[in-house]
Structure 1
Amino acid sequence: MYINITNPHYLWLLFSVPFLIFSHLTLLRYNQYRALRFANFAALKRVTGKKILSKNYIMLTLRMLILLSLIFALSRPVLWYESEVSNYDYVIAIDSSASMSAQDFQPTRLQAAKDTASSFVDSLPPGARIGVIRFAGSTFVELIPDKSKLKVKQAIDDITLMRAGGTDIPGSIITGSNLLLNSMDGRGIILLTDGSNTAGTFLQDSIDEATNYARDKNVVIHAIGIGSESGPIGYLPEYYNISATYNQDSLETITEDTGGLFFYASDYEDITASFSNIINHDKTAFIDLEMTFGLTALALVLVFIEWGLINTRFRRFP
């Protein structure tokens, strides 16, 4: 459990608390000076039934709580707590770069990813929302998270190979995380890729930044590495003897940092088993609770309490 501050710049207003205390003590001293002009304290005590020249610490505490509640409400704190969930919302991110045309899966790695992803969609509970993205040199949204399994499977089926170079794994992570920001259930991204990140100037730095972004949004990333380490690349003749490189280390780093699972899949059965393990794994998630409304309501209640005390116990005599 932890609290994340959405608008931390409003926390500068906390410096107003010492000014509140200073003004309270200054006005208290001024009022005490005025009260000393009235000599018959014994008579006042008999009338009011309370100590004269009170320091009003109760009122000071109330006003401090009101001010603090309003400041924290403006900063929009969000309470994140871990809880069991019945549903997970997923973004399925499928690598459609040229390396996915490798033929160590028949007919290609891409087709294997699409077939097994569609079967995974069928196995999810009815309330799950699933989005679909594809990535190569850039990342493209095929479908925002939707409960319609028919739409999801159609979006998966529409993914085709892109001959342009590059595999934008960081972009797919950030895009997938953004698609899940409004999810009220668990949040998960499933990467189906050969793991060869070839987009970005500083490749490992970009992966680290994307992974940190997903972790900050409490998105769990699972990765299924498709293909052998030396599968033949599909878009060049076999006599070139060039392999579609499989990068396991990158995928393991991404999943470990976000609490997800990494799977190595060398055939259709491995991919299917990986999806089943993901479903069994995702039983708990971090759920967010906006605290702004509660803090605003607390401030309002305290204002009414202060108003009541001013007009009863702490009322001023003429």
Structure 2
Amino acid sequence: MTFEWPLALVGLIVLPVLIALYVWRERRRTDYAARFTTPGLLPNIVDASPHWRRHLPLAVLLIALAAMVVGVARPHAMMSVKREEATAILVIDTSLSMSADDVKPTRLEAARREARAFLDQLPSKYRLAIVGFAGRAYVALPPTDDRDLAVSALRNLHTAEGTSLGDAVALATRIAGRQRASDGTNPPAAIIVISDGAQFTGRTSPAAAALRARQAHIPVYSVLVGTPNGVITVPLSGGLKAAMRVPTSPDRGCPVGALVPEGAVKGTLALAVLLGAVALGPGTSPALATNECRGLQICVKVAGPWVVVPARLSAPRSQVDYQLSCPRGFVAGGLDAELSDRAIDLAFFGLLGSPVGPGTTTTRSVVFRGVYTGSPPRTPTFRPHLGCIPVAGGGTGPVPYRKLQALPPGQPTIRRVRTVRLHAGSTRATAACAAGERLLSGWHAIGFYTAAPPSAAVVQSVRATRSSSGNRVEVRVNAGAAVNGVRAIVQVGAVCGGGS
């Protein structure tokens, strides 16, 4: 046991001092009583002596004082508690052959579906990482217990040329080796490989990767996806296309099955048998309608609600702002949106910087601004999308023409944003500037989390008024009964001065 404030224990010195004073007082009281009484007459005057009971109040007081002093010193003890921890690493083939449709709808979609089924069965206390590989191996998702991020990472896997199977298993082995449990030891780990065949590119052979995993005591499970009848379409020069057979067979080069090490399988991750089918069954997957993650190998998609755009016809046209944010540790790497009306002019705010790229001209949050440019009165809406990446770009370089008295662009404004769920009736939402800041302007937006653009009846059932007072922006919303069947929100924002 240790103490956060050990000097407080000096107060325990008071206890023996109090005991000494009490003993001295008791002796003095006895001597004082003997001067004015006859000892032989005391039995006739006092029925019984309290003996030890008269010392009880002092004992209780001393115990309370001791407990108080020890409590002020704040004692604490470090105890090691055994915790079940493990890491599962999904290694998924994204080579061009995974686009074959011999397993409906495609081999890759079937692999995604079964990976999600495995994810649903994986205990929440276990972490999951995802490694994709085609011409090179890459980390699609670092180890995390956030299942929503895992689903997004699976959805963002796309096919490319090459099959670097050995590199992917070697990368997964390194990821597993870097994990640490709460007691500092390496937690159990397992690698699940989903592929349709052999290696054609890469620096590490599957046999060498399997040996490294065995030496690290990490079991590797393999799942063969597809049938011998797989066919893909390959574009040729001149606009021609060719059909190429990509049969799944363990005889193609180095089979995936060679990765399975000998020895016992760790029971903590035996759920991998859920993926043990030779050919994964049929299924469907929704089409990707937006392109915020196009060209990004590691990307997490974030979708906002359908934001209502004011449709006033008078000039100047009214506008609406909505702020959408990436998860913590990510920055915006791509943007897109869905519109219910082509007459919506949509833009976003970016920062000044060079080069133009994630982490330099974008941050974790992006403000979308919509203006309706059409003529007939409607209920236009848009849904913003962000593609979030876990890296920051940008660079620096000399600026020979910058003068000493000039200042580089900064962020003099700060946006304070609050989002509130709407229900039928009246709702009030406020956003305020912090101490030392001053309110410059405010905005609000009404949004609906629906699969399709909300109907005019739902949009028109919500009325909002905004007001400003001091450093605070307030929005009062009156919503009709139509919002009870949908998830409706109001976002209120305050643009504050006082940044750097």
Q: What TM-score, normalized to structure 1?
A: 0.51
Q: Distance in 1 between matches of 2:121 and 2:105?
A: 24
Asked whether the equivalents of residues 99 and 234 of structure 1 are also in contact (C-alpha less than 8 Å), the reply is no
Q: Distance in 2 between matches of 1:236 and 1:245?
A: 19
| 183-192 vs 130-139, greater mean Cα deviation | 183-192
After the TM superposition, list the runs of 4 or more consecutive aligned residues in structure 1 that deviate by more than 6 angstroms: none
Q: Which residue of 2 aligns with 1:187?
A: 189
Question: Is it true that 1:219 corresponds to 2:256 in the alignment?
Answer: no
Asked whether the equivalents of residues 194 and 226 of structure 1 are also in contact (C-alpha less than 8 Å), the reply is yes
Query: After superposition, what is the alpha-carbon deviation per residue over 1:271-292, rounded to whole angstroms, capped at 9, x for unaligned?
Result: xxxxxxxxxxxxxxxxxxxxxx
Q: Which residue of 2 aligns with 1:266?
A: 279
For residues 87-236 of structure 1, the aligned pairs below 5 Å read 88-162=86-160, 164=161, 166-181=162-177, 182-183=179-180, 184-200=186-202, 206-235=205-234
Q: Distance in 1 between matches of 2:234 and 2:109?
A: 15
Q: Distance in 1 between matches of 2:242 and 2:190?
A: 39
Q: Distance in 2 between matches of 1:130 and 1:198?
A: 27
SS of 1:242's partner is: strand
Structure 1 residues without counterparts, runs of 5 or longer: 1-84, 271-318
Query: After superposition, what is the alpha-carbon deviation per residue over 1:3-49, rounded to whole angstroms, capped at 9, x for unaligned?
Result: xxxxxxxxxxxxxxxxxxxxxxxxxxxxxxxxxxxxxxxxxxxxxxx
Q: Distance in 1 between matches of 2:249 and 2:107?
A: 15
Q: Which has the higher contact order (CA 8 A, sep 6+)?
A: 1
Q: Distance in 2 between matches of 1:104 and 1:236?
A: 19
Radius of gyration: which is bigger? 2
Q: What TM-score, normalized to structure 2?
A: 0.33
Question: Is it true that 1:251 corresponds to 2:256 in the alignment?
Answer: yes
SS of 1:248's partner is: coil
SS of 1:91's partner is: strand
Q: Distance in 1 between matches of 2:247 and 2:282?
A: 21
Superposition RMSD on alpha carbons, in Å?
2.7
Q: Distance in 2 between matches of 1:118 and 1:234?
A: 27
Number of equivalenced pairs: 180
Mark the CA change 1:248 to 1:218 in structure 2 (over 3 Å): closer, same or farther: same
| 228-237 vs 131-140, greater mean Cα deviation | 228-237
Asked whether the equivalents of residues 92 and 130 of structure 1 are also in contact (C-alpha less than 8 Å), the reply is yes
1:241 positional shift: 5.4
Mark the CA change 1:245 to 1:236 in structure 2 (over 3 Å): closer, same or farther: farther
1:257 positional shift: 4.1
Q: Specify the code of the residue in structure 1 equivalent to 2:223.
A: I
1:151 positional shift: 1.2
Mark the CA change 1:233 to 1:147 in structure 2 (over 3 Å): closer, same or farther: same
SS of 1:233's partner is: strand
SS of 1:252's partner is: helix
Q: Specify the code of the residue in structure 2 equivalent to 1:209.
A: A
1:230 positional shift: 2.6
1:269 positional shift: 7.2
Asked whether the equivalents of residues 210 and 261 of structure 2 are also in contact (C-alpha less than 8 Å), the reply is no
Q: Distance in 2 between matches of 1:234 and 1:185?
A: 43
1:185 positional shift: 2.8
1:136 positional shift: 0.3
Q: Distance in 2 between matches of 1:241 and 1:143?
A: 33
SS of 1:268's partner is: coil
Q: Specify the code of the residue in structure 1 equivalent to 2:212.
A: Y
SS of 1:228's partner is: coil
Percent of residue pairs identical: 23
Q: Distance in 1 between matches of 2:278 and 2:158?
A: 21
1:223 positional shift: 0.8
Query: After superposition, what is the alpha-carbon deviation per residue over 1:172-230, rounded to whole angstroms, capped at 9, x for unaligned?
Result: 101001111125432111111102211147xxx81211111111111111111000023
Asked whether the equivalents of residues 103 and 234 of structure 1 are also in contact (C-alpha less than 8 Å), the reply is no
Mark the CA change 1:247 to 1:193 in structure 2 (over 3 Å): closer, same or farther: same
Structure 2 residues without counterparts, runs of 5 or longer: 1-82, 181-185, 266-272, 284-500
Asked whether the equivalents of residues 138 and 171 of structure 1 are also in contact (C-alpha less than 8 Å), the reply is yes
Asked whether the equivalents of residues 232 and 242 of structure 1 are also in contact (C-alpha less than 8 Å), the reply is yes
Asked whether the equivalents of residues 193 and 226 of structure 1 are also in contact (C-alpha less than 8 Å), the reply is yes
Q: Distance in 1 between matches of 2:127 and 2:259?
A: 23
Query: After superposition, what is the alpha-carbon deviation per residue over 1:108-162, rounded to whole angstroms, capped at 9, x for unaligned?
Result: 1011111111121111111110001110010010111111111111111111112
SS of 1:130's partner is: strand
Q: Which residue of 2 aligns with 1:5?
A: none
Q: Distance in 2 between matches of 1:156 and 1:198?
A: 23
Identify, as 1 or 2, the structure richer in helix.
1
Identify, as 1 or 2, the structure richer in strand.
2
Query: After superposition, what is the alpha-carbon deviation per residue over 1:42-79, rounded to whole angstroms, capped at 9, x for unaligned?
Result: xxxxxxxxxxxxxxxxxxxxxxxxxxxxxxxxxxxxxx
